[in-house]
Amino acid sequence: MPLIDSLATTPELANLFSDQSLLRAMLEFETALAGVQANAGIIPKEAANIIGSALPESFDIESLIHDSLRAGTPSIPFVKALTEHVRSLNSNAAGYVHWGATSQDVADTSIMLLLKKAQALLATDIARAEEASRHLSNQHAHTVMLGRPLLQPGPPITFGLKAAGWHGTIHRGRIGLEHAFKDALILQFGGATGTLASLGNRGLEIAAALAQELGLGCPEAPWHAHRDRLATLMCACGVLTASLGKIARDISLLMQGEIAEVAEASSPGRGGSSTMPHKRNPIGCTLALAASHRVPGLVAAFLGAMTQEHERAAGGWQSEWPTVAEIIQATGLAAASMAEVLEGLTVDAARMRANIDATHGTIFAERAMMLLAPHIGRDAAHKLLEEAVRKSIEQKRSLGDMLAEMPEVTRWLGGTTLKGLDVPKSYLGVAEEFRLRLLTPEKKK
């Protein structure tokens, strides 16, 4: 992995999109194509065996990179290099390399093969994050904390509800990604203009056999200039990465020293500062946030390249390889980072309660207003509570005490009611019901 990409991918995904891995995928396409054609009696079996014997080590990467810039696609120099390699072993077999295919067939299908492997890598970390968020929610079902609308203290919620919200968005993102992968992982095989005319009336037969051999879906027809299914996959990655970024934003804010309600796990070399030894930085969240900043632009770049001309585009699909690779790797980094964060997250329930208490009960002004409103009207109750909150803040006394000194309030609300005003667990509404619904979405249907 180049140093410049060290904060953009995981080692596993960097390896998956490496030069050697891409060459293996392109060779897998050519090997499978030759094999099914040999089985169908279209090319000699000996030729197929020789074509299938080529290894990534047989190719000069630097030459392929140089020649790709001249050819407008890596596929053309790759096929030429493969043909020359086969010719060095058997001149007759060289004539059957890439039989009936076009350069975009090998380019698109090789990316499909890499995406198929990437799906498994992504699924593992997404499942980890989903399960970790479920565990946090169950563990802290009754841990009260401040709600923070517009970053300001609000009526209490439970950390269990917050974590269930995280679980819900990860779950939905995972399902969306699974559906998008299922639709996108298909063969590309259409020949020059998407008719497979070079194979006569056997095009459908060969395409179906080739798709089965490669473990990909067989589409209704070649999709050279129709990129919607792949675009949907890129968009699903964008949604999931943004959802993971939202969780990372929540956690990084809760880690601020002034709040200090949660913390990422620490270890030697993780979360430190080059100049401030006291710091415990939100490193996993930072990586996920960085990915969530990059992916929207990359998805937009993919969507912008979808307006492709006629049967084969000039510049559209040629732009996709690096875009797709970067989106998948950024998504994978976000998933892996947040899985680690959620699995090791430390939750300080005492600090959460202390931060509630530090508001002197002003976060329960809504509750008091709703108790008063049936007696004096909403507007009058709102005005009284504004005054009481102002005095509570100025005097650093509880809102209940302020209200107890206001005859307009005590006429309607007794001392017991006012003393119990700032009990967080008595003003959680249906938080627990919402939490359980988020953890079991299938039961809502």
Query: What positions carry a catalytic annotation?
Result: 273, 312
Dist CA 48 CA 40 (whole Å): 11
- Show the DSSP H helices in 7-72 as ranges: 11-16, 19-39, 45-51, 61-71
Amino acid found at 224: H
Buried b (16+ CB within 10 A) or exposed e, 128-145: bbbebbbebbeebbebbb
Cα 360 from Cα 242, distance rounded (Å): 35
Q: How large is the angle between the packed helices 103-139 and 203-214, nearest 10 degrees?
A: 40
CB 92, CB 154: distance < 8 Å? no
Contact 331, 292 (CB under 8 A): no
**Closest C-alpha to 83, from 54, 120, 124:** 54
Instruction: Give the integer Cα–Cα distance in Å for 81 and 229.
Output: 31
Angle (deg, nearest 10), helices 283-304 and 228-254? 150
CA Rg value for the chain:
30
Residue 133's SS3 state is helix
Euclidean distance between CA atoms 351 and 316, whole angstroms? 53
Record the tokens describing residue 212, joined without a space.
Answer: 């089965």
